[in-house]
Structure 1
Amino acid sequence: MTKTTRLNVKKDFAKILKSGFPLISKDAITAYEGIQEGTIIELFDGQQFIGKGYFGVQNKGIGWILTRKRDERLDQSFFDQRLKKAFERRRDLFIDESTTAFRVFNGEGDGIGGLTIDYYDGYYVVSWYSEGIYTFKKQVIDSLLSLFDVKGIYEKKRFDVKGKYIEDDDFVAGERATFPLIVKQNDIQFATYLNEGAMVGVFLDQREVRNTIKNKYAKGKHVLNTFSYTGAFSVAAALGGAVKTTSVDLANRSKPKTIEQFQVNGIDVEAQDIIVEDVFNYFHYAVRKKLSFDMVILDPPSFARSKKHTFSAGKDYPALLEQAIAITKRDGIIIASSNCSTFGMNKFKGFIEKAFKATKGKYKIIEEYSLPSDFPTMKEYKEGNYLKVVFIQKLG
């Protein structure tokens, strides 16, 4: 039987937790020293029960509220019900022949903070964001195996020990996949590797954005894709009829990974440019060589560091946009994206305004995207709706 511990909430934090906010911050609790990861905790404001959850330290807090019912047990039945309900919400995706990779459980948006589950053509990848939620591994895996048709299960321990991501074999149960495992999103194919560390080869949350690039904006365009990772945006643009794509990323592995993504989609790799370079250096090079593009895609990590540059989205995004504006043709499109959870869409639009003001340019916002339907969030927890994508037309 998992131990249950009562914790008292400070007065200043009681109201927000009572309103439905699911994340427990360390500052919200009067004392929590000595509590073991995975301990079931009951939160109280004096004698008033607030909620029940688990203790698990991650970068966002020290645990999550999972239920507002004191008598609800966090047992196998609880996990079965939450996973079953989440899968029902994705029923249409499971029968969509054009898409075989998507999220099937999105943390607090599906009722269990600190846990995500992704689907890759019959294989499931479970990501654990703290040692606390990892103590419930048996319940989660048993739910998957008993309720659904599972080829195999892999896991990602996204909590770090001594500052390092835990890299194990990642395989958990069922049968091992043959890699690369080819999956689809809106008929765009992706080579994935479920056993190669934290990232498997494609970011599932950009599904709708890639489809829009392919179907509405790429035809006849010269496209620059920065921070390109495995080139997923470039593939979408090429399939949509782009004249040429240029993919730029600092990581050495980005080039062979991008080549592979082009190849699995039948795209002529030789007709594309794939450059291993610091994006900021490439911007300077492009200005020096008077290069310009019809479409520039900006999807940087929230934080990045190279030998010469440090990038923090909350501080440096306007300057990044200024550099993109300089090499975007008149009436061209800039696709600005950020997955940083510390600011919302309004502030992001403020970054766009600031950048165009600094360059004395004019612009028009023509489309906006946040997380797709398989990434549900809670209105009480705005930080969970982290993705912001804006299609900007440069007018002058």
Structure 2
Amino acid sequence: MSPARVPLAQSFRAARERRGPLLTEPRTTALRWVNGAPDGVPDVTVDAFADVLVMSLYRDFAPSEEQALLDAAVEAWAPRSLYLKRRPREARVLANTSREALAPEVPARGAPVEALEALENGVRFLIRPAQGLSVGLYLDMRETRAWLMGQVKGLTVLNLFSYTCAFGVVATAGGARRALNIDTSRRVLDWGEENARLNGQPVDRYDYVAGDVFDWLGRLAKKGQAFDVVISDPPSFSTTRTTRFSAARDYPQLAEAAARLVTPGGRLVACCNLSTLTGRRFEAMVAEGVARAGRQGRPVHSLGPSPVDFPASPEAPPGLKVNVLQLR
């Protein structure tokens, strides 16, 4: 063992140990073991799904550095499998790099795992660690999903940019009367249906809608439909055949369209994970959109990632911002 690897493995062990309260929670097997600089390992995160780990690199590491990180992770934790994701921050680098180079389908260490089940607060989710850069569940939303589950009994929920429909599954588990999921990708919606069935929930194809979110917001408004809870969790940047969305520029437009579909007294759950957007600026953008819709919004809750497995520091503040507004 080279001396250079010992401190890294120790950092990994210490980071996991700091997750103590979550490690002993049998109803949750999906959590973040390393969260970059606050855990002493800048530009590196490690997400654990039971005994399968996903390591993400947020800068261009040299091959020798990558190998040292992987070896240290195996030394510290001895996982069944360890998958590697390379996530350069610059869009041009992402655009010019093959998917296989960014997210190899074979594990960097251990045996291949096509799919596995992970638990979050007793709810089951299907994880596909070799699928791409995103493996099925965004762990920083765990606190928001837990909050939602206790708020929606008997209510209707609209889940925008639903990805694998985690919010919809959790809402149904919490007793929601209906959860409508909208995403541009039919593939991830099918994955969402799998998640629902995994939890013994009925699946109605009409509640898994593939299409442009802005287009569907307009259609639903024209039909006069409204929902008790509308969840808006867009990617920071996205492009469809008809729209281009940037959270830093277009969130007021999204908040306006979403607010039009909230029932009087209902809630808008506005989410953003763009780290360069400050919490104060995000609040102002959401308020601007709500006002444009002719609605009045009262902030009732502010959420974010769990400080247990998503520790922050002044140099690395939390990226996720979740604002809950009650609308009149």
TM-score (normalizing by structure 1): 0.77
> Per-residue displacement from partner, 1:110-146 (whole Å, max 9, x unpaired)?
1222211110101111112233265322322222222
Corresponding position of 2:214: 280
Match of 1:232 among 166, 173, 183: 166
Residue pairs, 1:1-396, within 5 angstroms = 75-132=4-61, 134-159=63-88, 160=93, 162-165=96-99, 166=101, 167-177=103-113, 179-215=114-150, 217-270=151-204, 273-373=207-307, 374-382=309-317, 385-394=318-327, 396=328
Cα separation, 2, equivalents of 1:134 and 1:267: 45
Look up the equivalent residue of 1:176 and give its one-letter code.
Answer: P
Moved over 6 A (4+): none
- Contact 2:106-2:112 at 8 Å conserved across structures: no
For residues 291-316 of structure 1, the C-alpha deviation after alignment (integer angstroms, 9 at most, x for no partner) is 11111000000011111111110111
Return the index of the structure with the highest Cα Rg.
1
1:149/1:94 Cα in 2 relative to 1: closer, same or farther (>3 Å)? farther
Q: Tell me the secondary structure at the aligned position of residue 144 of structure 1.
A: helix
* Deviation readout 1:132-191 (Å, 9 max, x if unpaired): 2653223222222222242221111223562444242231222333x3300011111100
Distance, in Å, in 2 between the alignment partners of 1:379 and 1:122 is 31
Q: Residues 256 and 291 of structure 2 are in contact (CA less than 8 Å); yes or no, is this contact kept in structure 1? A: no
Question: What CA deviation, in whole Å up to 9, does each residue of 1:349-380 have, x standing for no partner?
Answer: 11122123223321211111122121112213
The answer on whether the counterparts of 1:340 and 1:387 sit within 8 Å (CA) in structure 2 is yes
- Distance (Å, rounded) in 1 between the aligned partners of 2:74 and 2:324: 41
Letter in structure 1 aligned against 2:203: V
Measured in 1, the distance between the counterparts of 2:48 and 2:292 equals: 43
Determine if contact 2:10/2:76 at 8 Å carries over to the other structure: no
Tell me: CA distance 1:134–1:108, structure 2 relative to 1, closer, same or farther (3 Å): farther
**In 2: Cα distance, 1:219 partner to 1:231 partner:** 18
**Structure 1 Cα separation of the partners of residues 122 and 243 of structure 2:** 37
Q: Once the two structures are aligned, what percentage of the paired residues are identical?
A: 29
Which of the pair has the greater relative contact order for Cα pairs under 8 Å at 6+ separation?
2
* Structure 2: distance between partners of 1:163 and 1:151: 28
TM-score of the superposed pair, with normalisation by structure 2: 0.92
Structure in which a larger fraction of residues adopt strand: 1
**Amino acid in the other structure paired with 2:77:** F
Which range moves more in the overlay, 97-106 or 343-352? 343-352
SS of the residue 1:253 aligns to: helix
* AA aligned opposite 1:218: V
- Higher deviation after alignment, 347-356 or 182-191: 347-356
Q: CA deviation at 1:344?
A: 1.4
**One-letter amino acid matched to 2:238:** A
| Mapped partners of 2:288, 2:215: distance in 1 | 22
Distance 2:62 2:20 in 1: 26
Query: RMSD in angstroms over aligned alpha carbons?
Result: 1.8
Cα distance in 2, alignment partners of residues 134 and 302 from structure 1:
29
The 2-side partners of 1:105 and 1:268 are apart by 36
Distance 2:59 2:71 in 1: 19
Contact conserved, 2:236 with 2:247, CA < 8 A, in 1? yes
Q: CA–CA distance in 1 between the matches of 2:238 and 2:323?
A: 21
- Contact 2:35–2:311 under 8 Å retained in 1: yes
Query: CA offset at residue 74 of structure 1?
Result: 8.7
Give the drift of 1:272.
Answer: 6.2
SS at match of 1:171: coil
Gaps of 5+ in 2: none
- State whether residues 255 and 286 of structure 2, in contact with CA within 8 Å, keep that contact through their aligned partners in structure 1: yes
Cα distance in 2, alignment partners of residues 271 and 294 from structure 1? 21
CA apart distance, 1:252: 2.3
Alpha-carbon distance in 1 for matches of 2:81, 2:315: 34
